[in-house]
Structure formats: C-alpha cells, structure tokens
C-alpha cells in the first residue's frame, strides 16, 4: 500500500482558531483499520512559517512521548500545502465538555473525582517534563497550554494530555521566544505575565487552576476582556472555593493553595510532588474513587454531545460538505467525499468492518489445474472391476451326496427339487450386505471438500 493511501477522513470533530481536527482511519493490508485523529493547520495559517514551525514542533515532541496519560502522535504529513498530524483517537470528551455538562444540569463534580482527574494530569505532566530524546538527553518540555480543552478523557475514565503545539524544549528557546506570551490567558502562570522564562512550574500552576475550577464549578480567572483576564492572572488573587462549595475538606484546600502559590518557589516543584499529595488526600476522603466514577460523567457528556450533533445534522455520515479537506482526500487517495466510498465488507462481528472486499471464491484460485496436474504425475494403481450394486453374498456350499437309491418305477414322476440345504455346522455364516449410502459424495481435490463447490 502506498504512502498516499494510508489515511481516510471520516468527519470533522473539532475546530479552533489555528487548526481543526478530524476523525479518520489508518488503512493497512488485509482489511486492517485503526481509528485516528487528524489535526490539520487552517489554510490561512499555512503561510505563517512561525506557526508551522510550532506545529511541527508539536509532532516532533509528541513522537518522544509514549505514556498512557499523553495522547500519542503516530505520523505527520502534508497535502496540498497543508500540514497535518496523525494522532491517537480518544473516544470520549474533553474536560471543558464535562464541566459544561455539569454546569448545564446544575451539578457539581464530586470532590474525589476532581482530585483523581487532577492527579492523572500531574502524572502526565511529570512524564512529559522528564522525557528524553533518542540520545537520552532531557528535553525539558514545558506544555504551557494546560487547559480544559487539552485534557481529554475517554469513556473508560482514562485521562490524557494533548496539544503540545505550544510546548518548547528549553534548548530551542531564544530571546524572542522567552518574551512571547503563549497559551490561553485564563490558564497562564503569574510569572509568565511578567515576562519571566517559563519552566515546568507554570504547568503545575495551570493544573492547580483546573482543580480549583472542577471543585468550584466556575472559572478562576475570567474578565470581561482578555486584558482584564491577563491582569487577574498577574495579581494571582485566589478566592476561597468554599464560598461556592462549602463541603471541600481542609486537606484539599492545603494542596490547592500550594499548587496555586504566586511565587514559583513556594509552589510544587514537580508533577510527582503534586500527584503524591493528591494521592494522600484521596486516601483520607471517606468515599473511594476509581476510573469508573470518571467514566460515568464522561459518558453522559459525550452522549449529550452526540445527541446535539445528531439534532444539528452532524452525524458521522452527515453532510460534511466543504469541511472535508480536499488536500487530505488527495493525500489519502479518497474519491473526494466520504459518501462516495465503496461499500465495505462487514464481518460477522457487529461494528467491525474490513476493507479488503467480500469473501474470495476458492474456485478462482486455479487450484483445479494445480491438483489435476499433480494427480497426473502420480501412477495410478490397476483398476479392479467391482460390481458395487450387487450384494456381496458368497456362493452356497455344495450339497452332501445322498446314498444311492433304487430306481423308481417308470410311471413315477421325478420329485420336485429340494431347497438348498442349510450349511453344515462350523461353516462361516454368509456376509451381511452393505448398506448403500444415499448421501451424495463430494468429488474432486481436497480443497473443494473444505470450501464446497
């Protein structure tokens, strides 16, 4: 299979100001298919060399990350001048969709669930911060864009970090990069707003913001404008979340206060430290929490989103129209739209499809000629004539000779022929006739007897 036929676009699932994401499939031989997510730069940004370089950095950094708490990057490509990244497809919802669902239904996330999600985020950050390249050199990765949009949660309660597009290895930073403010304003760390060099502690602060918002059910830093939001972050005045939720334990507030410390030196210095304290807090809470508790709320949010899309006419086979990428279709070898794809052969298992066509008739393999030629090369034994229709009954034994009797008078008629005498004692009994099998027998080479004619 050629490189240009590896991916196929199914539907558009998300869009932002810089890129859009599609659900797709990675195709292989023998009907192999795997769901993937394809993130493509918007056409208006394709000419922005700085952004494209940042986009490519995401792919290169993602190639080094292989952890259950990080979305994996599989490939990178370019079609029609548009760059795109092929990533792991996460079937679920992002944290923002979960929080929006709870807010719309006047619900609050359980304290245990919020702490567990935050702990998983810290685990992913700890791995990314310590990631090394192929030579073993630490990359010193800083995500710099930890926000609800970039925390994906599967329907099975798995938490994964995504979108390292703003991440930079510290060895690649220059003076201009250090002065550039990147990321969503409401999730920046105070030192970033002051122009200081960002390090892994800015991700710790952002993870603390996520925990605060999951507990309080509202945004922490949100002004009427971006400038006001920027000023709120710089001031770093953290309201007590118990004014919105009085049942938050003191231990949770202690951990939260350290994560959201304005001074980076007073903050958790690593994701491992933050995660360790969250684990201790979870042990003290009366109600245990597992991935099943996370999965429950994620499924509710994902199902509501699916119903909303269906109502809007955006089902999987819906009208994508111009949203389907011509460049990606050209790259993937697709005929131009998902609707015009050839009908796929469905396997016996519901929901599993194969792309290799229908079942192949073995008679088309040319085995007849192969086996007939092989049969002709083997000498046949001499044929023995057998009458299969006659029962195998042995001839009756000869009758014993009767003693000579005097000749009968001439007028006496010859006696009638006597029936055959019974076999003498000790003689073998006659063989039983074989039962004829009325079922038709399959003939020909052995493969016909396996697959049928």
Say whether 145 is catalytic: yes
Q: What is d(CA 276, CA 262) in angstroms, rounded to the nearest whole number?
A: 21
Q: What is d(CA 275, CA 42) in angstroms, rounded to the nearest whole number?
A: 36
SS3 298: helix
Residue 226: partners with Cβ closer than 8 Å, 6 or more residues away: 185
- Number of H-type helices and E-type strands within the chain: 13, 12
Give residue 321's region: left, alpha or beta (phi > 0; psi -120 to 50): left
According to DSSP, the residues that pair with 24 across neighbouring strands are 9, 36
Q: What is d(CA 126, CA 165) in angstroms, rounded to the nearest whole number?
A: 18
Find tokens 């807090």 and name the residue: 281
For residues 154 and 165, the answer to whether their CB atoms sit within 8 Å is no
Catalytic residue among 94, 120, 145, 293: 145
According to DSSP, the residues that pair with 86 across neighbouring strands are 38, 75
Number of other CB atoms surrounding residue 335 within 10 Å: 11
- Residues forming the active site: 145
């Amino acid at each position: 299979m050629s490189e240009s036929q590896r991916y196929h676009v199914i539907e558009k699932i998300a869009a932002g100001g810089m890129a859009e994401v599609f659900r797709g499939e990675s195709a292989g031989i023998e009907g192999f298919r795997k769901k993937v997510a394809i993130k493509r730069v918007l056409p208006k940004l394709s000419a922005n060399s700085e952004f494209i370089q940042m986009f490519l950095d995401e792919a290169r950094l993602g190639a080094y990350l292989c952890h259950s708490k990080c979305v994996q990057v599989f490939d990178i490509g370019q079609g029609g001048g548009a760059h795109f990244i092929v990533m792991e497809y996460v079937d679920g919802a992002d944290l923002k969709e979960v929080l929006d669902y709870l807010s719309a239904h006047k619900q609050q996330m359980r304290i245990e669930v919020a702490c567990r999600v935050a702990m998983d985020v810290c685990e992913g950050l700890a791995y990314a911060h310590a990631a090394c390249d192929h030579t073993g050199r630490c990359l010193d990765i800083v995500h710099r864009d930890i926000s609800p949009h970039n925390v994906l949660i599967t329907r099975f309660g798995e938490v994964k970090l995504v979108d390292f597009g703003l991440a930079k290895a510290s060895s690649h930073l220059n003076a201009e990069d250090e002065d550039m403010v990147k990321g969503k304003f409401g999730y920046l760390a105070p030192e970033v707003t002051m122009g200081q060099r960002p390090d892994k502690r800015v991700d710790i602060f952002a993870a603390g913001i996520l925990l605060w918002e999951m507990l309080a059910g509202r945004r922490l830093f949100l002004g009427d404008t971006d400038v006001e939001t920027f000023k709120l972050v710089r001031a770093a005045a953290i309201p007590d979340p118990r004014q919105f939720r009085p049942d938050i334990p003191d231990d949770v507030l202690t951990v939260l206060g350290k994560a959201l410390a304005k001074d980076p030196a007073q903050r958790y210095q690593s994701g491992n430290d933050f995660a360790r304290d969250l684990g201790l807090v979870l042990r003290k809470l009366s109600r245990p929490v597992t991935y099943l508790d996370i999965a429950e709320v994620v499924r509710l949010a994902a199902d509501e989103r699916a119903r909303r899309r269906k109502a809007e006419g955006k089902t999987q086979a819906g009208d994508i129209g111009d949203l389907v990428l011509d460049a990606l279709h050209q790259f993937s070898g697709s005929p131009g739209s998902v609707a015009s794809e050839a009908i796929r052969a469905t396997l016996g298992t519901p929901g599993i499809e194969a792309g290799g066509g229908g079942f192949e008739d073995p008679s088309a393999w040319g085995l007849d000629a192969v086996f007939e030629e092989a049969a002709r090369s083997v000498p046949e034994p001499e044929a023995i004539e057998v009458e299969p229709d006659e029962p195998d009954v042995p001839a009756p034994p000869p009758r014993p000779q009767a003693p000579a009797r005097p000749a009968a008078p001439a007028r006496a008629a010859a006696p009638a022929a006597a029936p055959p005498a019974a076999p003498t004692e000790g003689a073998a009994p006659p063989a039983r006739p074989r039962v004829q099998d009325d079922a038709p027998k399959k003939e020909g080479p052995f493969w016909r007897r396996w697959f049928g004619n």
